[in-house]
Structure 1
Amino acid sequence: MHPQLQALIDDFGSARERLHRLQGTVPAEKWATRPSEGSWSVAECIAHLNLTSQAYVPLLREALARGRAAGGAAPARFRRDLLGWVVWRAVRPETRAKIKTSAPYVPAIPTAGASAAEIAAEFDRLQDEQIALIRQGDGLPLGKLKIVSPFGPGFKYSVYSAFTIIPAHQHRHLQQAERAWQALSHG
């Protein structure tokens, strides 16, 4: 396994661990409670991540199939392309700028009625799928394979960039979920 891809797998794993710590801390009946008007609940933060992963998985799967068919080898070092780097920087938890979520990725919680356990199980299932895709990409030129971002047809970046964007975005919203719970528990 390429060390950079293993680092990504580890990042997906740390997001999963973070979710499970949160799930063990937040009572299930509080998952859908918003800490304030206009803010997201813990459930909404995780459901948003699930929606995002559901959008990325088929794009990545298709790009990897194209890459296997075309052939080529992995570089010694993967690099994000420019747009991928910009998106990655924008979605990291350290970035304080607010980014408005487009309608397809706004969760319908609490009206959807999914339980905390169901939302977390879907997160786990999608993590497994994304980690499997990273493993399938080992040995491929992931920096040369492109996808169109699920967030806009004008955004095209490499599969490697996408693999770095997803866990950064997950950690951003897991941090948001932790803050939501902190506000609820201290409010």
Structure 2
Amino acid sequence: MKAMTTLEQLSQTTRDLCKTVAQEFSSLSLVDLNYKPTPDSWSMLECLEHLNRYSRYYNPALAKAIAQNPCENCVPSITFSWLGKKSVDMVRPQNMKKHKTVKHMNPNDSHLKRATTEEFLQHQQELLHMLEDAKQAKLNKKAVPVEFFKLLNMRIGETLAFVVAHQERHVQQALRVKQQLTQQAAA
């Protein structure tokens, strides 16, 4: 898998997610953004807050790993370890299997404001800068501790792929909540 193509694809997906979140959620009221189809499901803002919690950990961890592993003349390519492949496959939007999140990453019953969306978009801008910086990094260096088990490290490139796939998954989840809200309002 060519890294430049992959990094470019990850950047494009991230830009698309920013555009989607800005377009789809900015005109909604705070009441609508906090709408929950069921008490145990997440609202649109809770989906974004979940991603914010992950970004608060992974953005600094990735920035540090990228800065500490420069590569001037290496051929950038991303290869996936068993852990990286499993992690990315688990969070791909196409994988509709539900997974229980760790307690501190679960935003259920949070009281969220519009700042949640603004923070999400800010994290995406940071990620876009990291994806650009990653073009000059050793992408296959195991340098990013896994959030819930810091003794395990993932490779820089596979962590970037994990983060973007995870965000894509939960933005799509938020869009499904919006669709349910629209259907309920029309009924």
TM-score (norm 1): 0.88
1:82 maps to 82
Does 2:141 correspond to 1:139?
no
After superposition, the C-alpha distances for 1:137-174 in whole angstroms (9 at most, x for unaligned) are 21222112421111323542101001101111111111
Contact in 2 for aligned 1:46/1:119 (Cα 8 Å): yes
SS of 2:136's equivalent in the other structure is: coil
2:156 maps to 159
1:59 maps to 61
Structure 1 pair 4–17 and aligned structure 2 pair: CA distance change class (3 A): same
SS of 2:144's equivalent in the other structure is: strand
- Of 20, 23, 37, the residue aligned with 1:21 is 23
2:104 maps to 104
CA drift of 1:125 comes to 0.8
Structure 1 pair 76–132 and aligned structure 2 pair: CA distance change class (3 A): closer
TM-score (norm 2): 0.88
Query: Any gaps of 5 or more consecutive residues in structure 2?
Result: none
Once residues 90 and 137 of structure 1 are traced to their aligned partners in structure 2, the CA distance between those partners, rounded to angstroms, is: 23
2:41 maps to 39
Structure 1 pair 90–108 and aligned structure 2 pair: CA distance change class (3 A): closer
- Code of the residue aligned with 1:101 in structure 2: it is T
Does 2:117 correspond to 1:115?
no
After superposition, the C-alpha distances for 1:103-146 in whole angstroms (9 at most, x for unaligned) are 121126542xx422x11111111111111112112122211242
Query: Any gaps of 5 or more consecutive residues in structure 1?
Result: none
CA drift of 1:82 comes to 2.0
Does 2:10 correspond to 1:8?
yes
- Code of the residue aligned with 2:154 in structure 1: it is Y
What is the CA RMSD across the aligned residues, in angstroms? 2.0
Runs of 4+ in structure 1 over 6 Å off: none
Contact in 1 for aligned 2:78/2:158 (Cα 8 Å): no
Does 2:181 correspond to 1:184?
yes
SS of 1:156's equivalent in the other structure is: strand
Once the two structures are overlaid, the 10-residue window that deviates more, 73-82 or 156-165, is 73-82
Q: How many residues are treated as equivalent by the alignment?
A: 182
Contact in 2 for aligned 1:72/1:141 (Cα 8 Å): no
CA drift of 1:28 comes to 3.0
| Percent identity for Structure 1 against Structure 2 | 24
